[in-house]
């Protein structure tokens, strides 16, 4: 799900980038902004690391993300018409991604490159996600610089701006570690870890979701069910098979799928899962004495399959949350 500068400026709700949006942008004479850049044609594949393409990508990443649309004629930085860019071949797309990795330091990964429109009237949009690795630098022999968007222009950072960017990068890393520790402490609280083994697993996106519509109850039900379908469901005890996926309850900026194993017979299946509104996910599962293969283990033994199931379910939660919130 996207919410790019095109969506914001045209008044669209979060969603895919469509041919209709491109036509509307041209009809409105939409102007370039700090997070929107018009280009008339795709950069050539030959010598792609040398022209402006890496500079444009790095500038967007340094500016908090943005979108570059190739195939738009512009005058005074305002869209005036469409220009077919031709077929975007697999090799061309691979070269674009490679340039963002090899010609920028630190590399910019995860470019979302989309072809929009029918043959003969195609444009290509490249969505650059916000980056926690800023500043991204462009090297020219022994010299380097850090580009950034200044409204509709791309300029080079000065020393003061570089200092601020590096400080923000280090502060963000420290904050991310603290936030992850806080998630873990929350999930560990109240678990009888002094009496039996638990697997506590948490994941947080490098760039948490912001400005998204809060997931509804129906959204939460769908996400928990989808995650369960991606995990191990054939044998053994799956943590997501032991939570109430169809009745998640609201928590503090999250949806919690509560435990259903609440009696002595099913106590070994106890599990809790949550999906946060910023894309974080958590999972807590009791793994002592699991009946993974129909054999009851001693209380101080853990079946390896129980660990595999829990890890698979965590990855499934990460997958569905990333898809819903657009995080990574």
Instruction: Report the CATH number that the domain containing residue 139 is assigned in CATH.
Output: 3.30.950.30
pTM of the complete model beyond 0.95: no
Residue-level pLDDT at 301: 75
Q: Which domain holds residue 195?
A: 172-325
Name which of 36-45, 189-198, 278-287, 293-302 the model is least confident about.
Answer: 293-302
Whether the predicted pLDDT of 110 surpasses 80: yes
Of all residues in the chain, what percent are helix, strand and coil, respectively (each to 5)? Answer: 35, 25, 45
Do 62 and 195 share a domain, yes or no?
no
Q: How far apart are CA 131 and CA 208, in angstroms?
A: 11
* Number of domains forming the structure of the chain: 2
Q: What is the token pair recorded at 57?
A: 């990508």
Looking at 119, 137, 162, the residue that finishes a domain is 162
Do 54 and 158 share a domain, yes or no?
yes
Do 34 and 149 share a domain, yes or no?
yes
Looking at 96, 127, 162, the residue that finishes a domain is 162
Do 155 and 198 share a domain, yes or no?
no
Do 212 and 235 share a domain, yes or no?
yes
Do 183 and 149 share a domain, yes or no?
no
Name which of 64-73, 90-99, 126-135, 233-242 the model is least confident about.
Answer: 233-242
Q: Indicate the average pLDDT of the chain.
A: 87
Name which of 58-72, 212-226, 229-243 the model is least confident about.
Answer: 229-243
Whether the predicted pLDDT of 96 surpasses 50: yes
43: left (phi over 0), alpha (psi -120 to 50) or beta: beta
Do 135 and 198 share a domain, yes or no?
no
Do 247 and 281 share a domain, yes or no?
yes
Do 210 and 156 share a domain, yes or no?
no
Do 184 and 294 share a domain, yes or no?
yes
Q: How far is residue 166 CA from its own chain's centroid? A: 22
Do 186 and 313 share a domain, yes or no?
yes
Q: How confident is the model at residue 290 (pLDDT cuts 50, 70, 90)?
A: low
């Amino acid at each position: 799900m996207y919410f790019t500068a095109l969506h914001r400026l045209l008044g669209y709700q979060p969603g895919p980038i469509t041919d209709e949006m491109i036509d509307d942008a041209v009809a409105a004479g939409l102007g370039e902004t700090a997070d929107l850049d018009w280009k008339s044609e795709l950069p050539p594949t030959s010598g792609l690391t040398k022209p402006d393409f890496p500079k444009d990508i790095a500038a967007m990443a340094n500016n908090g993300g943005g979108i570059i649309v190739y195939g738009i004629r512009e005058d005074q930085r305002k869209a005036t018409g469409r220009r077919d860019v031709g077929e975007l071949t697999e090799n061309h797309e691979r070269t674009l991604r490679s340039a963002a990795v090899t010609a920028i330091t630190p590399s910019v990964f995860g470019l979302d490159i989309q072809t929009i429109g029918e043959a003969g009237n195609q444009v290509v949009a490249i969505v650059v996600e916000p980056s926690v690795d800023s500043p991204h630098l462009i090297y020219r022999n022994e010299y380097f610089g850090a580009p950034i968007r200044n409204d509709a222009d791309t300029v080079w950072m000065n020393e003061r701006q570089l200092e601020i960017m590096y400080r923000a990068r280090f502060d963000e890393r420290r904050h991310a570690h603290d936030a992850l520790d806080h998630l873990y402490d929350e999930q560990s609280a109240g678990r009888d870890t002094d009496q039996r083994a638990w697997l506590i697993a948490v994941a947080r996106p490098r760039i948490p979701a912001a400005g998204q519509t809060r997931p509804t109850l129906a959204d939460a039900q769908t996400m928990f069910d989808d995650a369960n379908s991606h995990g191990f469901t054939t044998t053994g005890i799956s943590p997501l098979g032991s939570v109430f996926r169809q009745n998640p309850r609201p928590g503090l900026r999250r949806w919690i799928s509560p435990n259903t194993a609440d009696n002595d017979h099913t106590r070994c299946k106890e599990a809790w899962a949550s999906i946060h509104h910023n894309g974080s996910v958590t999972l807590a599962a009791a793994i002592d004495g699991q009946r993974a293969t129909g054999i009851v283990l001693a209380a101080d033994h853990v079946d390896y399959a129980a660990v595999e199931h829990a890890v698979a379910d965590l990855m499934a939660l990460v997958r569905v949350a990333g898809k819903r919130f657009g995080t990574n």
